[in-house]
Chains A and B, each alone.
Chain A
Amino acid sequence: MTINILAFGIAKEIVGGTSTSADLPSHTTVAQLRRRLEEQYPRLGKLASYMIAVNNEYAATDSLINEQDEVAIIPPVSGG
């Protein structure tokens, strides 16, 4: 399956746009997606931390990702 991944803040600069896509086997976990992203974009692994959001919620590393999910890279937040 191909999933579209939104990127914000510094993640937008790392992936070179407001989104990127990844071809993944079905039943992919958040942890597997993170490994794939870090292979493709080594700078992600150098951030202080980052989270993956699925459908507007912070996702646990063992959560499964489906093709229709809205997936986003959430680098360290700094609002306020």
Chain B
Amino acid sequence: MVDILITGKPIDTQACINMASSPHSGGIDVFIGTVRAATKGKEVVRLEFEAYRPMAVSEIKKITAQMLQKWPLHHIIIHHRTGILKVGDIAVVIVVSAAHRDAAFDACRYAINTLKQTVPIWKKEVFLDGEEWVAAHP
């Protein structure tokens, strides 16, 4: 099963894990991306995530299709949050299950790395003294 969600509500990590569980899945790998307190030494007040939702879902679908071709996986769950998040909040949860751990670990790492490169989601870091769209400028 593949389950993709872009949501303005908090992500339910346990529900994601439950969806990926099955009697034959001996390895379930979970990546949780959270809001870090500081970037390059500057204190972060909050992050604002924005998505081009239909295209983001379509790009995540491409990633899951590639994952299923590369590894013998059972389930892939990718949920990404949008809106205003504070330090410690969960921005993204990726859960990958497989019979054995190697495929789950490798596929999960591939998923988050590729998501960061191709999926049209943006974050703005808001600091005490200003704000910045991440990666926008060289």
Binding site for B on A (CB under 8 A): 6, 8-10, 12-13, 46-48, 53, 56-57, 72, 74-80
Contact = CB atoms under 8 A, between A and B. Distances in A.
B116 A80 contact: yes
Given A48-B136, A77-B116, A79-B51, A9 B124 contact: yes
5 contacts: A77-B122, A78-B122, A78-B123, A79-B121, A80-B92
Contact of B52 (A13, A48, A74, A76): A74
Interface size bucket, B side?
A: 20 to 34
A79 B80 contact: yes
Given A8-B120, A74-B120, A79 B92 contact: yes
Of residues B49, B54, B117, B122, which shows the largest number of chain A Cβ atoms within 10 Å of its Cβ?
B122
A56 B124 contact: no
Interface string B45-80: 000011110111010000000000000000000001
Given A56-B54, A72-B52, A72-B55, A77 B136 contact: no
B62 to A, nearest CB: 10
Contacts of A12: 50
B135 interface: yes
Contacts of B134: 78
A75 B133 contact: yes
Given A77-B116, A77-B117, A80-B115, A6 B122 contact: no
Given A78-B134, A79-B92, A80-B112, A56 B58 contact: yes
A10 B131 CA distance: 11
Given A48-B138, A79-B116, A10 B55 contact: no
B98 interface: no
